[in-house]
Chain A
Amino acid sequence: MAKGFFTDTSLCIGCKACEVACKQWNQLPADGYRLTGMSYDNTVGLGATTWRHVAFIEQMSGRGGVDGHAGGQAGQRRGASAIGERIGQGAPGVMSALADHSANGGNGGRSTDGAGGGRLAATLQAPRLVDDATGGFLGENRWLMMSDVCKHCQNAGCLEACPTGAIIRNEFGDVYVQPDICNGCGYCVIACPFGVIDIQEEDGRAWKCTLCYDRQKDGLEPACAKACPTQSIQFGELDDLRERARERVGMLHERGVTDAYLYGVNENTSVGDLNAFFLLVDKPAVYNLPERPHVPQAQVIPAYVATAVTAVALSAATALAFLFKRKGTMR
């Protein structure tokens, strides 16, 4: 019924084709020519004109810190030498990750010849993705890359917060901002638990990923999923995607990536299942995602009740102030 994204970060190679395809299709303005200097991530985050964002996490000292927080100098040196070794071996892990995918036939039948995929995988002699000697593609020293996007939450904070009704859930089950209604109040911006939706200052309206509503209406997959060369971004019916994602997690566990898990599926958070969910191999915070996202409107009823109780109490106190004093001072 509802359609969405499965973003498999274990397949992402950080090429940013999704970012470019998104900008091109949706005619979003450029974000400038600045370099952040922190990593290959010069996009920094999602915003009004950036609906796909590829995060780069460099873990050169084992798990934990992103930018050497946990590791320190020694760890960084060790990481550097390990990378050198891996480059010497031609980084086989990358090839194996891709081979896994083409062997599976992929999404939408790009490689329908299952036998051919199998031959490819066999030829490459794909090693375990986590290897004791070299660390492997997803082992000790690694780059994690993730293409972030609007999660199209089942209980969407922005949708609940919008006071104009500009934000709706469309016929594909996705959260869509109607630009002809939005008046730029900005309340959705702070109601999003993932920091996705934002106001474009020059335009004065709130914008975010539409999950290519226009393309979906014509039966096309979204631009980012179409452009993704490794099918890290997969688009389809959510039930199918979840099934496929669980299989992928099981497969990664079998091959040694025991940290792989799904983010946004069956987590019993107040935002519900995410229509754009992720396969991650480290803590959510590493990818700048909240551990347990809450939909802010869960606070509304308790806050209304507390305010109403206070209103009654203060009104009663005010009434008492007027009654008591009248007796005391009236002559």
Chain B
Amino acid sequence: MRPDITAEMQVARPTEPQFGVTTPAQMPAPEVYDRPPNEVLLPYLDRGPLVGAAVELGVAPQAGEGAPTTYYGRPMIHKPLWRWYIPLYFFVGGLAGGAAVIASVAHFLGGPKHRGTERNARYLATAAALISAVLLIADLRRPLRFFRMLRVIKFSSPLSVGTWILSAFGLTSGLLAARQAVEDGFIVPRESQLGRLARRLIPVGPITALWGLTGLGLSGYTGTLLAATAVPLWAAGGIFLGPLFLATGLASGAAALTLMALGWGKRGPEADAARQQIETVEAISAVAQLTLVAAREAVVPPRINQPLRRGHWGLLYRGGAVGGGMAAPLLLRIVIRLSGRRVGGAIAAIASTLTLLGALAERFAITEAGKQSADDPLAYQDLSRGAPGEARPTPAQQAERAGKAGAPAAYRRNVAVTDS
């Protein structure tokens, strides 16, 4: 014991964190935020080129005047409590949804050469849906109460909508996988009585259509889930998050199907043609991803977007997700095609692996950067500065209203005492 610590002080100090206690080590240190030095350009630097132009045109409100004010640098909102399960779920769920979309389009338009694609996608989606459910339930602080999600459906809550989408997706995936297992002779012999019954009871066409639709929902709703929060990085430009997550889900679904086809699919020109069609979907999705990333960057003010531009999550997002996971595989495929060769198995495997890793990086970077932006009071102030046309009533206006209401006699008497 240090000599300056008396016995009484020891009693008063808890030795370990108690119920509900935040220890000093967990307390974020107050930060002093640096501002751009150029005062003239400040509103523009601070709010992004497009928003700056909007301010100039008078369709967006002015930036706040003078030095920024924070309450000792403390966060204005609580940050997300989600653990790594949730970004991993965004990846797994998006991949499953994307694979289902591709497989159901292939079912109706792809012809017989896509039987293998469908088979892979059915098993993949079912496994991924199960993993998704486990991840989501594990992240609940009261996991045994997960079924409470199923007592309501609320369109205002993307989480509620997503619960039902995942349930429907899991059901359709499971039915299709069960039928596939029967066709493959895994559960009961294909031509046995039970096998025939199963194939008759599970109508492939309508279920596949529903499967594809729920797959679209599963890939896309997660972005909406993030947009409908107070977290600055997600809410600003949030309109692009759903589309971006959908495109990423489609790209990673295509990449997973490509790898599965290369890993244990059939060989031959038919299989190659099928694989190349899926690779085309992956390339289209990559173009969509890059477009949406650029659109999002253009509208999100830099202060809000800072965690995705600097630091290790910024590096993971820019280098890993956008550079390595969207641009690199796309370029690789374009260069090979432009040089007059076909994209061979090895190149396709590399490109698809990059796409998958990029999708994983994107989910983690956006989730974790969102936590950082929630801790930044100036980012939240940028978000909550107001929409065009909205203005707080000035103190004078409020006083005018108050004056109409009339101060009570007691107050007037008080004022009179003061002034005399």
Contact = CB atoms under 8 A, between A and B. Distances in A.
Nearest to B148: A164
A55 B72 CA distance: 10
Interface size class of A (residues with CB under 8 A): 35 or more
B248 to A, nearest CB: 11
B395 A261 contact: yes
B410 A114 contact: yes
A286 to B, nearest CB: 5
Interface stretch (B41-49, B102-110, B326-334, B346-354): B102-110
B141 A205 contact: yes
Contacts, number: 381
B314 interface: no
Interface string B27-38: 100101000000
Interface string A66-80: 110110000000000
Contacts of B92: none
B206 interface: no
Which interface residue of B67, B72, B377 has the most chain A CB atoms within 10 A? B72
Which interface residue of A49, A160, A307 has the most chain B CB atoms within 10 A? A307
Interface in B369-396: 374, 377, 380-381, 383-387, 390, 392-396
A260 B395 contact: yes
Contacts of B54: none
A89 interface: no
Interface stretch (B179-187, B233-241, B317-325, B356-364): B233-241
Nearest to B66: A64
B67 A250 contact: no
A202 B141 CA distance: 9
B230 A190 contact: yes
Interface stretch (A6-14, A31-39, A218-226, A228-236): A31-39
Interface in B237-263: 238-243, 246-247, 250
Given A70-B67, A297-B228, A251 B141 contact: no
A39 B72 contact: yes
Interface string B2-29: 0000000000111001111111100100
Contact of B157 (A70, A161, A269): A161
A287 interface: yes
Interface stretch (A169-177, A209-217, A313-321): A313-321
A166 B148 contact: yes
B417 interface: yes
A290 interface: yes
B306 to A, nearest CB: 18
A192 B78 contact: yes
A199 interface: yes
A60 B149 CA distance: 50
B408 A247 contact: yes
Nearest to B156: A160
A134 to B, nearest CB: 15
Contacts of A45: 74-75
Given A190-B374, A318-B281, A286 B402 contact: no
B24 A34 contact: yes
Interface size class of B (residues with CB under 8 A): 35 or more
Contact of B227 (A293, A299, A314, A318): A299
Nearest to B33: A69
Contact of B417 (A28, A122, A160): A122
A252 B66 CA distance: 26
Contact of A322 (B21, B77, B106, B158): B106
A272 interface: no
B384 A31 contact: no
Interface stretch (B124-132, B191-199, B215-223, B297-305): B215-223
A33 B14 contact: yes
Contacts of B22: 31-32, 34
Contact of A314 (B149, B247, B395): B247
Contacts of B40: none
A250 B20 contact: no
A247 B417 contact: no
Contacts of B273: 325, 329-330
Interface in A287-331: 287-294, 296-297, 299-300, 302-304, 306-311, 313-315, 317-319, 321-323, 325-326, 329-331
Nearest to B411: A251
B280 A325 contact: yes
Interface string B139-178: 1111101101101101111111001000000000000000
Interface in B43-85: 64, 66-82
A253 B399 contact: yes
Contacts of A321: 277, 280-281, 284
Contacts of A201: 141
Across the A-B interface, the 7 shortest Cβ-Cβ residue pairs = A184-B141, A307-B242, A250-B402, A204-B141, A290-B384, A183-B145, A288-B71
Given A205-B141, A247-B407, 7 more contacts: A66-B72, A186-B81, A191-B228, A202-B20, A246-B398, A306-B239, A311-B246
7 contacts: A65-B69, A69-B68, A183-B148, A192-B78, A204-B141, A317-B288, A329-B269
